[in-house]
Amino acid sequence: RTVYLNGQWLPEEDAKVSIFDRGFLFADAIYEVTGVVGGKLLEYEGHSARLQRSTKELGITCPLSPEALLEVHREIVRRNDLNEGLIYLQISRGTADRDFAYPVDSKPTLTLFTQAKAVLDNPKAKTGISVALLPDQRWARRDIKTVQLLYPSMAKMEAAAKGADDAWLVEDGFITEASAATAHIISKDGKLITRPLSHAILHGITRASVLDIAQEAGIDYEERAFTPDEAKDAAEAFITSATNFVLPVVAIDGQNVGDGTPGPLTLEMRELYIEKKL
């Protein structure tokens, strides 16, 4: 692969970052994942806006303008001849001698790489996934897309050890989100229920599009937190993210959701999303 590092295009084995980079030492960095299908960037505007927000919240200055960054995204697709998969972008605060207090004038480290992956033809879209409920032990500013991903990684491993595909995280008796996706349910009266935006969850770009699509399709939705019991008792459940689009959840802690197969409204939302965004 050809990767991008601070203005340079390099073979991946030549792209090196200092061990003093604060992304490495303190997880002092933010990231974005943009889906690519047919060489086209998906939902780029949303990812660009969230990136600006994350850097602003942490006081990191993005080294490129939004226009230049878009051009880098397009160029990395071209250079890697990427048809389908994702673009990963990371901006760290940069290098500094190890100290909890950070310099205000460090030079951020900007990296991008691609991952080729079949995202459209996902076998899990037909079967659905199972999730295990685990406590949400992440920090309290999940609305900032930082690279502090140790707990989500551990939760994913623990879910796998329980025989589940992913984790749904629980805090104060309510579902927050999945390890790296937004959690949604559909009630027995056909209403889409999703947690409102706050510091407790990442403000999913796919989530926002799905709510727009629901509105257009005349599917009622309600933004409110829901409990594990309500989720287990729901008609349907699904997750959304940049690379999963809309993916059915068919079991929660070993209990079937609905009849244990992908729900009709979930599949309709997936179709509409693909139709509209790809």
The gap from C-alpha 140 to its chain's centroid, in whole angstroms, comes to 17
Residue 134 region by backbone torsions, left for phi larger than 0, else alpha for psi between -120 and 50, else beta: beta
**130 is a contact residue toward ligand PDD (CB under 6 A):** no
Among 69, 82, 192, 205, indicate the residue that binds ligand PDD (CB under 6 A).
205
Write out the binding residues for ligand PDD, residues 33-52 only, by CB under 6 A: 33
Binding ligand PDD by CB under 6 A: which of 48, 55, 182, 266? 182
CB of 122 to ligand PDD, least distance (A): 14
Nearer to ligand PDD, 129 or 180 (CB): 180
27 lines the binding site for ligand PDD (CB under 6 A): no
Rounded to an integer, what distance in angstroms lies between the CA atom of residue 111 and that of residue 140?
Answer: 26
| Rounded-to-integer distance, Cα 164 and Cα 210, Å | 25
In a 13 Å sphere around the CA of 269, the CA atoms on its Cβ side amount to: 36
Alpha-carbon gap, residue 61 to 91, rounded angstroms = 9
Nearer to ligand PDD, 76 or 96 (CB): 76
Going 40 to 64 to 27 to 47, the CA torsion angle's sign is negative
Span from 9-17, 66-74, 158-166, 239-247 in contact with ligand PDD (CB under 6 A): 239-247
The residues annotated as belonging to the active site are: 145
Q: Name the site residues for ligand PDD (rule: CB under 6 A).
A: 33, 177, 180-182, 202, 204-207, 240-243
